[in-house]
Structure 1
Amino acid sequence: MAGIRISIIIPTQRRPGPLALAAQSALAQVGVERSEIELVIVDNDALPSAQPVVERLRDGTDIPIVYVHETRPGVAHARNAGMAAARGSLIAFLDDDEEAPGGWLAALLATQARHTADVVFGPVRARVPETARHRAYLARFFSRVGPEAEGPMAGYFGCGNSLVRRAALPDPVAPFALERNHIGGEDDLLFGHMQAAGARFAWAPDAWVHEDPAPSRLTLRYTLLRAFAYGQGPTEHCASSVPPDRLGVVKWMAIGVGQSLVFGAVAALAWITGAPDRAQRLDRAARGLGKTLWFGPFKLSFYGQTT
Structure 2
Amino acid sequence: MTQPRVSLIIPTQRRLDGLATAARSTFRQVGVDPAGLELVVVDNDQAPSAQATVAALAAEAPFPVIYVHEPEPGVANARNAAMARASGEFIAFLDDDEEAPAGWLCALLAAQARFEADVVFGPVRGRAPAEVTRHRAYLEWFFSREGPAEAGLLDHYYGCGDSLLKRASLPDPTRPFSAIRNHIGGEDDLLFGVMQRAGARFAWAPEAWVWEDPVRSRLTLDYTIARAFAYGQGPSSACAIQDPPDRLGIARWMVIGVGQAVVYGLIAGLQRLTGSSRYAFTLDKAARGLGKTLWWGPFKIAFYGLRAGA
- TM-score, length basis structure 2: 0.97
Cα distance in 2 for residues equivalent to 1:170 and 1:95:
22
Q: How does 1:81-230 map to 2 (within 5 A)?
A: 81-132=81-132, 133-230=134-231
SS at match of 2:38: strand
Cα distance in 1 for residues equivalent to 2:67 and 2:27:
14
SS at match of 1:254: helix
For the 8 Å contact 1:93–1:163, the answer to whether it is kept is yes
Q: Which runs of no fewer than 5 residues in structure 2 stay unpaired?
A: none
| Structure 2 residue aligned with 1:293 | 294
Q: Describe the superposition over 1:42-62 as per-residue Cα deviations: whole angstroms up to 9, x where unpaired.
A: 000111111111111111123
| Structure 1 residue aligned with 2:16 | 16
Cα distance in 2 for residues equivalent to 1:191 and 1:113:
19
Structure 1 residue 287, shift from structure 2 partner: 0.2
Cα distance in 2 for residues equivalent to 1:229 and 1:304:
16
Structure 1 residue 19, shift from structure 2 partner: 0.3
Q: Describe the superposition over 1:87-127 as per-residue Cα deviations: whole angstroms up to 9, x where unpaired.
A: 00100000000000111000000000000000000000111
Q: Describe the superposition over 1:246-265 as per-residue Cα deviations: whole angstroms up to 9, x where unpaired.
A: 10000000000000000000
Worse overlay, 90-99 or 121-130: 121-130
Worse overlay, 124-133 or 240-249: 124-133
Cα distance in 2 for residues equivalent to 1:281 and 1:126:
19
Q: Describe the superposition over 1:17-72 as per-residue Cα deviations: whole angstroms up to 9, x where unpaired.
A: 11000000012111111110000000001111111111111111230001000000
Cα distance in 1 for residues equivalent to 2:202 and 2:275:
40
Structure 1 residue 296, shift from structure 2 partner: 1.3
AA of the residue aligned to 1:36: G
| Structure 1 residue aligned with 2:244 | 243
AA of the residue aligned to 1:279: A
| Structure 1 residue aligned with 2:67 | 67
For the 8 Å contact 2:4–2:90, the answer to whether it is kept is no
AA of the residue aligned to 1:217: R
Structure 1 residue 129, shift from structure 2 partner: 2.3
Q: Which runs of no fewer than 5 residues in structure 1 stay unpaired?
A: none
SS at match of 1:175: coil
SS at match of 1:164: strand
Task: Give 4+ residue runs of structure 1 displaced > 6 Å after superposition.
Answer: none
Cα distance in 1 for residues equivalent to 2:41 and 2:283:
36
For the 8 Å contact 1:176–1:190, the answer to whether it is kept is yes
Cα distance in 1 for residues equivalent to 2:263 and 2:230:
19
| Structure 1 residue aligned with 2:35 | 35
Cα distance in 1 for residues equivalent to 2:207 and 2:280:
29
| Structure 1 residue aligned with 2:46 | 46
AA of the residue aligned to 1:96: D
AA of the residue aligned to 1:180: R
Structure 1 residue 304, shift from structure 2 partner: 1.1
- TM-score, length basis structure 1: 0.98
Task: Please provide the CA RMSD for this pair.
Answer: 1.0
| Structure 1 residue aligned with 2:305 | 304
SS at match of 1:59: helix
AA of the residue aligned to 2:236: T
Cα distance in 2 for residues equivalent to 1:129 and 1:99:
14
Cα distance in 2 for residues equivalent to 1:199 and 1:243:
21
Structure 1 residue 275, shift from structure 2 partner: 0.5
Structure 1 residue 131, shift from structure 2 partner: 3.1
Cα distance in 1 for residues equivalent to 2:80 and 2:131:
37
Structure 1 residue 4, shift from structure 2 partner: 7.5
Cα distance in 1 for residues equivalent to 2:92 and 2:261:
36
For the 8 Å contact 1:176–1:187, the answer to whether it is kept is yes
Cα distance in 2 for residues equivalent to 1:59 and 1:211:
25
| Structure 1 residue aligned with 2:5 | 5
Query: Could you tell me the percent identity over the aligned residues?
Result: 64
Cα distance in 2 for residues equivalent to 1:224 and 1:250:
23
Cα distance in 2 for residues equivalent to 1:209 and 1:52:
26
Cα distance in 1 for residues equivalent to 2:237 and 2:160:
18
SS at match of 1:40: strand
Cα distance in 2 for residues equivalent to 1:27 and 1:82:
18
AA of the residue aligned to 2:127: R
